[in-house]
Structure 1
Amino acid sequence: MEIPSELDGASVIHITKNSLENTFGYIGFVDDKRNLIDTIDITAVAICRYDGSVECYLFSCGINWEVIGDKVYDTIEDAKKSAMNSHNVKEEDWIF
């Protein structure tokens, strides 16, 4: 699948390749008793920015580039640090 230039209406700044082989973690779904009932693998990570915003978003993506989680950061550097700490994304994993 082609690498998108936009995700969820935000422009892509940095992105990883999207592969089931990536080990970036997963998003878990819990029931009302907080029991884990399902997961979706995070197969790609992207740093994006909405037009007119100074903040950056770290998007966790599924295999079809659907955004399955996000977190907002003040800077690209903060988003990259979080990606490294939370998803084990190394500097060489970023495509652009």
Structure 2
Amino acid sequence: MTPSTHLDGARVLAWAWSDLPFGHVADAHGTAPIAIHGLAVCRYGDEAQVYRFSCDARWETVQDDVYASENEAREQLPAQYRAVAAAWNTP
């Protein structure tokens, strides 16, 4: 499943999707786990830094992390997102 060109107002630079979850994160209440099916590296405007968004099955952003470069964001996946190997795509 392909994301839109923008997530949370940031332009998508690269994305990865898996029908099987990459991993799970706790919901806002710390109880029910949310399956992460989409990963996206995005940039807001002309900012130097990029964000890696962790998304649910509808490409809704569940969590984000800030990185200095697109390569860092792709390569530094936390252990919780390694259940399935990420195959990165560009829009």
Which TM-score band (shorter chain)?
Answer: 0.7 to 0.9
Structure 2 gap ranges (5+): none
C-alpha change, 1:39 and 1:9, in structure 2 (3 Å) is: same
TM-score by length of 1: 0.78
- The runs of at least 4 consecutive aligned structure 1 residues that moved more than 2 Å come to 83-86, 88-91
Equivalent residue for 1:27?
A: 25
The size of the alignment, in residue pairs, is 89
Equivalent residue for 2:4?
A: 4
Whole-angstrom CA distance in 2 between matches of 1:48 and 1:64: 17
Look up the SS of the partner of 1:54 in the other structure.
coil
Structure 1 gap ranges (5+): none
Identity, % of aligned positions:
29
C-alpha change, 1:3 and 1:83, in structure 2 (3 Å) is: same
TM-score by length of 2: 0.82
Relative contact order: is structure 1 or structure 2 higher (C-alpha 8 Å, sep ≥ 6)? Answer: 2
Is the radius of gyration larger for structure 1 or structure 2?
Answer: 1
Equivalent residue for 2:34?
A: 40
What RMSD in Å do the two structures reach over aligned CA positions? Answer: 2.2
